[in-house]
Amino acid sequence: MKQSEFDVIVVGSGITGGWAAKEFCEKGFNTLVIERGRNVEHRGPEYTDMLAPWQIENRDLIPESFSEEGRYPHILGKGYLRNSTKQFFTDEKEHPISYPEDKPFMWVRGYQLGGRSLTWGRQVLRWSKKDFESNAKDGHGVPWPIGYDDLAPWYDYVESFIGVSANKDGLDAVPDGVFQKPWEMSAPEKHIASNLAKHYDDRRLIVGRAANLTEPTQEQLELGRGPCQARSYCKKGCSFGGYFSSLSATLPAAKRTGKLTLVTDSIVATVDYDEQSGKASGVTVIDAHTKEKRSYKARVVFLCASALGSIQILLNSKSKSFPNGIANSSGTVGRYIMDHYTGVIADGEVPGFEDKYNYGRRPIATYIPNYRHEQHPGTDFIRGYGYQATATQRKNTGTTAKRVGIGAEVKAQARQPAPWRFLALMYGEMLPYYDNVASLHPTKTDQWGIPLLHIDATIKENERKQIRQATKDIKEMLEIGGCTDINLRVVPETEHIKIGDRIHEMGGACMGDDPNTSVLNKWAQAHDVQNLFVTDGACMSSCATQNPSLTYMAITARSANYAAKLLESGEL
């Protein structure tokens, strides 16, 4: 690469990095996107969604040797790693992190072009007004410098581009947006939803809101995207472009402007700081293969390397002015680490629907939004929780290749009615705690000489209280919904709940109005360094209960628009 100076450098090519690239390129700025992982082509050989099950090594099962060798320990625990998807997940043995022995942290990563946008769950839920007001209201964490009204037009903008299949539910907890045709609930889900609506004023079961196309717009078709085929092969890569990813949408949009430069296999070690100008001058990267260093210059730097990835870069970017990491005069870089957590899983049989069958593989589950924004009488905690849920014919009939039998025997089993079961997982809101912190390990480094990130984070008593109430709530809701044979799996009071398990890690460079207590202002712009922005999960001041990616994208688009105006005016 001959060119080393750009208008904008974007670090990371995932959900937010792709959006930053698209916005700056479409506004005419020469933009460099730096990805630490390898290059992956959309519809390229790493996509396995067109392979039949028998064409995949080991019938898609992961070798037992992975556990023996200590590979992918946390992702294996989640149960969805397959031979057909392992190329999109980072091997933790090769890319270790550090945490206290009694508080293991799960950091699921995807080091390739497109990042975790290739494997995300695609549930895109807006935050509510109350979600942005919680910190100021109850005094936990740093008050948000923005509210729902600031993001509403950017939610519209993002949803219009990515494509969101959803129903307009009219709920304050998850405001409606710009939607395509929704996916349909199954008959048992409709039954439960109807029963809940009759009994409760504040609890609703809705179909999830998916970044999967059902009615592609002309803009989406021009990018080569097509409707979702309901195959549920999403983590294998989607050759149809049916779901939103950086590879299917934002990076192609950026590329067609002629303003995009992509560099892969390049690990950003530091954001470089110019003491004379008081601005970031660019970044220094380490070649993933040769380990040689090189630098790139730019007028603006956007960190979109994932919450923890950006924190690691900020802390490692030391200078005379910032001996504890760039933009860290407040001392809060790495503070307020958060994630959603699951404290209870419940399931129950839904009787009376044995004549109904699953048709297709809907790419999204159902959802019960948070109904505990306000502290209810008799509760002793703040904030709340929602539930990700779905109804399936859980007792398989022999057609899944996981039971003994072939031929007529299997066909006979397949004709037998199967009972439906409804499964619900609690998604709790973790408070932003100052002492939940990510820091650089004092002695351990990775293979490129960069200090390992040490993460010390745990849920506390408020979250334990949420679990106790959520357990009572979901049992009651399943009963009201019409379920029988209800099972509850509750995390024991003394058991550590791994932060990061929901893959929604947030915080570490929170937004706020006060430079003494926060890292970023209302534009996700560093208080200390005018031309440095952080718009991934690190910028979040609280975590609410909804999946956060839609909010990341809205914040990124909004911040990029603001930064572009500063570039045009010559202020940056």
Residue 252, helix vs strand vs coil = helix
Asked if 570 contacts 526 with a C-beta cutoff of 8 angstroms, the reply is no
Q: Burial of 231 by CB count in 10 Å (0-12 exposed, 13-18 middle, 19+ buried)?
A: middle
Which tokens sit at 409?
């025997």
Report the pLDDT averaged over residues 492-519.
95
For residue 123, pLDDT over 90 is answered with yes
Cα angle 51, 56, 57; round to 5 = 165
pTM of the model: 0.95
Q: Give the DSSP letter of residue 140.
A: -
Q: Which residues contact 213 (CB under 8 A, 6 or more apart)?
A: 163, 165, 180, 220, 225, 226, 227, 228, 241, 242, 243
- Tens of pLDDT, residues 227-260: 999 988 999 999 999 999 999 999 999 999 999 9
Would you state the pLDDT for residue 1? 52
Would you state the pLDDT for residue 68? 78
- Tens of pLDDT, residues 378-429: 789 999 999 999 998 755 554 555 566 677 877 777 667 778 999 999 999 9
Would you state the pLDDT for residue 61? 87
Q: Which residues contact 524 (CB under 8 A, 6 or more apart)?
A: 511, 533, 534, 535, 539, 555, 556, 559
- Give the Cα separation of 403 and 381 in Å (integer): 45
Residue 297 has φ and ψ, to the nearest 5°, of -110, 150
Confidence of residue 305 (pLDDT cuts 50, 70, 90): very high
Place of tokens 């208080």: 527
- Give the Cα separation of 182 and 295 in Å (integer): 46
Q: Which of 439, 297, 418 is nearest to 351 (CA)?
A: 418
Residue 107 has φ and ψ, to the nearest 5°, of -115, 95
CATH number of this structure's domain 5-122+234-339+434-459+500-569, picked from the four choices 3.40.50.720, 3.50.50.60, 2.40.50.140, 3.40.50.200? 3.50.50.60
Would you state the pLDDT for residue 278? 97
Which tokens sit at 315?
């802390």
